[in-house]
């Protein structure tokens, strides 16, 4: 098995605003629940706070889940957890207009807007007084989460602890149904042309599945919040990692947009050509997320583009159904065979995704203590692995392992919701996915080699053997360390020229992408020229200069 393991080094330079927070980071947290406060006592009186997430999930009362109940017993704190329905931007606008905020918010892409509105309180003093574990976990990152005004407003989800352990089963954005590869003897599929040609050949042989038309290719571009699913692909096809809307040169650190380039044109022209053959789903830009996921689990789709985290329900449902031929595998697709793929993320820290306490919260101290209690090895194991003897066990070597039955529960969406994994294993103050516990076990369940091996079905093993691989990460090139990564997390102030450019360029893509994909082949060039004419009215040079400046600052250790 090829191992890709990085060790993170401490970041020596902290801003003046955060020296006090980081000063005790190595010895104040320990791995036992911290009580915080000046007298070492924590109230366990029952209280229910409100949590709002801008991600996609079902609402729940935390204590109705196993994990939420255990954490409530430890702290007395319960959570009414709700998630956005409909357009995220509209929801955040309503919150801001009415000044009606829940106690805590996981804002995702709405962070700049909510920060500008003053929705979040500074966490500095709360962390210093009540957050020994927070200081332990975020100590090396304090400069990266401190805003220019000297305040910390959110705690991100990617603070890696005790090193960096890579995912043995990394994935790309391009997926193909396994029966397609099987049909043609598991061929090497490297380029976009090869990928689309294989789908076309299979659809010609099998135009229907169980009496329904086969869907050659689709992606999810039905909402503004996830339109990046289709716009990001030129970046990946050109051999760059997900830096958002720019390609960053490894040597010069210059950031250049791929919007309006030949890369974008080549991607859209390929989709247009596939559409002319009837191989692109006509509801690509109109289906909602539930309709899209339903298509993925129907067995009719031959290929699609998506980040794995966007489609967890569909992936797990397909695996639970038990037909490996109808499952998908991701491939390192690029524009040409001479391009090295960059789908596996290098070590990174994302500082603009996290959880914050709002100005409407009546008891921020109680909340910060809850978060601090969450950040112990014991509770991080709880929210990721569950309870020893029930959802996992520890072998004679001290390694955390799961049986096939336990792993089936970890892959079952309904069990994950009932147990609480769907709610607690990500959008909270947490160890980063690539963290390692003090005892050497992986924080993320599927980063544990012993679990990854058990997780493979017979179909997985056949597929891996066919391609001479031990893990699915072996399909992809090793990551190259990029000190600025990811560039998309560079903060852009609400109302700033770069924020307005991002909004206007995104609006332009949403307007023209459907026309470019669904135009008659002979009309593609005309529509493209219209698109470029509109794009050239935007200040792309100013945006590139801004991102380049910030990238170079990150390379120099300035965040």
Q: pLDDT higher for 128 or 109?
A: 128
**What class, spelled out in words, does domain 174-343+473-555 have in CATH?**
alpha beta
Q: pLDDT higher for 310 or 372?
A: 372
Asked if pLDDT for residue 92 goes beyond 90, the answer is yes
Asked if pLDDT for residue 31 goes beyond 50, the answer is no
Find the mean pLDDT for residues 468-486. 92
Asked if pLDDT for residue 180 goes beyond 50, the answer is yes
List, for residues 248-282, the tens digit of each pLDDT value: 999 999 999 999 999 999 999 999 999 999 999 99
- Same topology, domains 5-157+349-430 and 174-343+473-555? Answer is yes
- Between the CA of residue 505 and those of 438, 473, 524, 534, what are the distances in Å? 45, 34, 20, 9
Give the span between the Cα atoms of 393 and 269, in whole angstroms. 51
Find the mean pLDDT for residues 19-41. 37
How many of the other CB atoms lie within 10 Å of CB of 46? 11
Asked if pLDDT for residue 521 goes beyond 80, the answer is yes
- pLDDT category at 86 given cuts 50, 70, 90 is confident
Q: Which residues are 339's β-sheet partners?
A: none
Give the span between the Cα atoms of 507 and 519, in whole angstroms. 19
Determine the pLDDT at residue 335.
98
Query: 315 by DSSP, 3-state: which?
Result: helix
Lowest mean pLDDT among 25-39, 131-145, 167-181, 537-551: 25-39
Q: 525 is written with which tokens?
A: 């060039």
- pLDDT category at 458 given cuts 50, 70, 90 is very high
The DSSP 8-state label assigned to residue 65 in this structure reads S
Lowest mean pLDDT among 155-159, 230-234, 453-457, 539-543: 453-457
Determine the pLDDT at residue 235.
97
Give the span between the Cα atoms of 228 and 108, in whole angstroms. 14
Determine the pLDDT at residue 192.
98
Determine the pLDDT at residue 44.
80
Q: What percent of the chain has pLDDT over 70?
A: 92
For the chain, which residues make up each domain, given as ranges? 5-157+349-430, 174-343+473-555
Find the mean pLDDT for residues 3-10. 32
SS3 content of the chain, % helix, strand, coil (to 5): 45, 15, 40
Cβ-contact 29, 137 below 8 angstroms: yes
Determine the pLDDT at residue 41.
63
| Dihedral class, residue 400 (left if φ above 0, else alpha if ψ from -120 to 50, else beta) | beta
- pLDDT category at 452 given cuts 50, 70, 90 is confident
Q: Which residues are 329's β-sheet partners?
A: 176
Give the span between the Cα atoms of 142 and 154, in whole angstroms. 11
Q: Which residues are 219's β-sheet partners?
A: 305
Fold of 5-157+349-430: D-Maltodextrin-Binding Protein; domain 2 (3.40.190)
Give the span between the Cα atoms of 220 and 539, in whole angstroms. 28
Asked if pLDDT for residue 73 goes beyond 50, the answer is yes
Measured CA angle at 362 (ends 151, 97), to 5 deg: 75
Cβ-contact 235, 485 below 8 angstroms: no
Asked if pLDDT for residue 27 goes beyond 70, the answer is no
Determine the pLDDT at residue 42.
60
Determine the pLDDT at residue 213.
93
Asked if pLDDT for residue 477 goes beyond 90, the answer is yes
List, for residues 497-511, the tens digit of each pLDDT value: 999 999 999 999 999
Instruction: Determine which helix (DSSP H) or strand (DSSP E) holds 22, and give its type and residue range.
Output: helix 19-22
- pLDDT category at 56 given cuts 50, 70, 90 is confident
Average pLDDT over the chain, rounded to an integer: 90
Asked if pLDDT for residue 30 goes beyond 90, the answer is no
Query: Which pTM does this prediction carry?
Result: 0.76
List, for residues 112-146, the tens digit of each pLDDT value: 999 999 999 999 999 999 999 999 999 989 989 99
Asked if pLDDT for residue 15 goes beyond 60, the answer is no
List, for residues 424-437, the tens digit of each pLDDT value: 999 999 999 999 99
Q: Which residues are 164's β-sheet partners?
A: 6
Find the mean pLDDT for residues 455-473. 93
List, for residues 413-424, the tens digit of each pLDDT value: 899 999 999 999
Give the span between the Cα atoms of 134 and 127, in whole angstroms. 7
Cβ-contact 164, 347 below 8 angstroms: yes
Determine the pLDDT at residue 225.
80
- pLDDT category at 26 given cuts 50, 70, 90 is very low
- Between the CA of residue 245 and those of 3, 271, 387, 518, what are the distances in Å? 30, 19, 41, 23
Torsions phi, psi for 499 (to 5 deg): -70, -40
- pLDDT category at 438 given cuts 50, 70, 90 is very high
List the one residue out of 106, 111, 222, 14 whose CA is nearest residue 488: 111
- Sequence-distant contacts of 83-91: CB under 8 A, at least 24 apart: 83/52, 83/53, 83/54, 83/55, 83/56, 83/57, 83/58, 83/59, 84/52, 84/53, 84/54, 84/55, 84/56, 87/223, 87/224, 87/225, 88/54, 88/225, 89/113, 89/224, 89/225, 91/54
Q: 194 is written with which tokens?
A: 């090869």
The DSSP 8-state label assigned to residue 550 in this structure reads H
Asked if pLDDT for residue 5 goes beyond 80, the answer is no
Determine the pLDDT at residue 2.
35
Pairing relationship of beta strands 77-83 and 60-61 according to DSSP bridges: antiparallel
Give the span between the Cα atoms of 449 and 6, in whole angstroms. 16
> How far is C-alpha 529 from the chain's CA centre?
34
Measured CA angle at 535 (ends 532, 537), to 5 deg: 120
Cβ-contact 484, 253 below 8 angstroms: yes
Q: 131 is written with which tokens?
A: 């957050």
């Amino acid at each position: 098995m090829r191992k890709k393991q990085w060790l993170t080094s401490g970041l020596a330079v902290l801003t003046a605003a955060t020296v006090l927070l980081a000063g005790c980071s190595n010895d104040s947290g320990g791995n036992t629940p911290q009580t915080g406060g000046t007298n070492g006592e924590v109230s366990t009186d029952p209280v229910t706070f409100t949590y709002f997430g801008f991600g996609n999930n079902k609402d729940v009362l935390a204590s109705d889940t196993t994990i939420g109940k255990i954490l409530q017993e430890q702290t007395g704190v319960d959570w009414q957890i709700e998630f956005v329905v409909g357009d995220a931007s509209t929801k955040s606008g309503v919150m801001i207009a009415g000044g009606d905020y829940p106690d805590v918010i996981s804002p995702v892409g709405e962070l700049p807007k909510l920060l500008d509105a003053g929705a979040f309180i500074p966490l500095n003093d709360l962390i210093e007084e009540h957050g020994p574990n927070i200081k332990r976990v975020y100590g090396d990152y304090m400069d990266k989460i401190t805003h220019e005004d000297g305040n910390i407003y959110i705690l991100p989800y990617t603070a890696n602890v005790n090193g960096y352990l890579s995912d043995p089963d990394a994935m790309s954005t391009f997926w193909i149904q396994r029966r397609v590869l099987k049909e043609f003897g598991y061929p090497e599929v490297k380029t976009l042309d090869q990928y689309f040609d294989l789908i076309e050949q299979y659809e010609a042989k099998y135009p229907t599945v169980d009496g329904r038309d086969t869907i050659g290719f689709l992606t999810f571009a039905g909402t503004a919040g996830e339109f990046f699913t289709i716009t990001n692909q030129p970046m990946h096809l050109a051999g760059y990692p997900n830096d958002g809307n720019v390609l960053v040169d490894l040597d010069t650190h210059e950031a250049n947009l791929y919007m309006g380039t030949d890369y974008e044109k080549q991607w859209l022209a390929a989709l247009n050509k596939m559409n002319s053959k009837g191989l692109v789903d006509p509801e690509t830009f109109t289906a909602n997320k539930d309709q899209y996921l339903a298509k993925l689990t129907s067995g009719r789709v031959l290929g699609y583009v998506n980040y794995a985290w966007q489609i967890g329900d569909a992936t797990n449902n397909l695996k639970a159904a038990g037909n490996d031929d109808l499952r998908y595998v991701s491939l390192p697709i690029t524009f040409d065979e001479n391009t090295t793929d960059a789908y596996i993320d290098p070590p990174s820290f994302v500082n603009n995704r996290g959880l914050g306490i709002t100005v409407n919260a009546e008891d921020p101290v109680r909340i910060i203590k809850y978060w601090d209690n969450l950040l112990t090895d014991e509770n991080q194991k709880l929210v990721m692995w569950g309870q020893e003897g029930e959802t996992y066990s520890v072998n004679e070597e001290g390694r955390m392992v799961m049986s096939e039955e336990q792993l089936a529960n970890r892959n079952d969406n309904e069990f994950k919701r009932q147990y609480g994994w769907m709610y607690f294993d990500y959008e909270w103050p947490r160890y980063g996915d690539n963290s390692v516990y003090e005892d050497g076990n992986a924080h993320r369940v599927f980063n544990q080699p012993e679990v990854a091996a058990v997780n493979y079905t017979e179909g997985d093993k056949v597929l891996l053997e066919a391609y001479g691989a031990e893990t699915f990460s072996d399909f992809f090139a090793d990551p190259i360390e990029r000190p600025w990564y990811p560039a998309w997390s560079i903060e852009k102030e609400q109302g700033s020229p770069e924020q307005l450019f991002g909004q206007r360029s995104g609006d332009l893509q949403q307007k023209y992408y459907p026309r470019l994909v669904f135009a008659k082949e002979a009309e593609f060039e005309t529509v493209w020229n219209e698109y470029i004419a509109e794009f050239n009215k935007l200040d792309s040079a100013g945006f590139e200069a801004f991102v380049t400046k910030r990238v170079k600052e990150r390379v120099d250790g300035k965040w």
